[in-house]
Amino acid sequence: MEKLTKLELELMNILWRLREASVREVQQAIVDRKRPAYTTVQTILLRLEEKGAIRKTRKIGNAFMFEPAITRKSAYRRLFDDFLELIGGSPQPLVAHLIESGKLTLEDLKALEKAEPKKGAKR
């Protein structure tokens, strides 16, 4: 899968939440900032379809319905891997920054440790 832009990820988050939606429904769901034009949302959704991130499910009248073709986890995993590569491959500077800024607490780390099996451990 190709890299997703910030706006593409924003629209993907809407589709992950709604599960299936038309261009108009996606456009109407954008509330955090100035809403882009219908044609802009349509263009981005068509680009996401070309990238294999979403697919058309059916047509209602003149409107196509879209659904995610990838999971949120797989999209974010790609984003995180790309970011780690950008900063040299080691997660240590990122984790250190998150801890220093207070965005990651010791409790968060303990919860992650309990939730994730150790590398090489059988599930």
| pLDDT at residue 1, as a whole number | 66
The whole-angstrom separation of Cα 36 and Cα 7 is 10
Instruction: Please check the confidence at residue 56 and state whether its pLDDT lies above 50.
Output: yes
User: Of 30, 91, 115, 24, which Cα lies nearest the Cα of 61?
Assistant: 24
Distance in angstroms (rounded) separating the CA atoms of residues 66 and 24: 11
| The pLDDT of residue 72 | 94
Token code pair at residue 122: 């059988």
Q: What is the pLDDT of residues 57-87, one digit of tens each?
A: 999 999 999 999 999 999 999 888 888 998 8
For 81-115, write each residue's pLDDT tens digit. 888 998 888 888 888 888 899 899 888 888 888 88
Residue type, 73: K
- Spell out the domains of the chain, with CATH numbers in brackets: 6-68 (1.10.10.10), 87-115 (no CATH)
Separation CA 95–CA 103 (nearest Å): 9
Beta carbons of 59 and 65 less than 8 angstroms apart: yes
Q: What are the helix (H) ranges across the chain?
A: 6-18, 23-29, 38-50, 72-86, 92-100, 106-115
7-42 pLDDT per residue, tens: 999 999 999 999 999 999 999 999 877 899 999 999
What pLDDT band is residue 123 in, cutting at 50, 70 and 90? very low
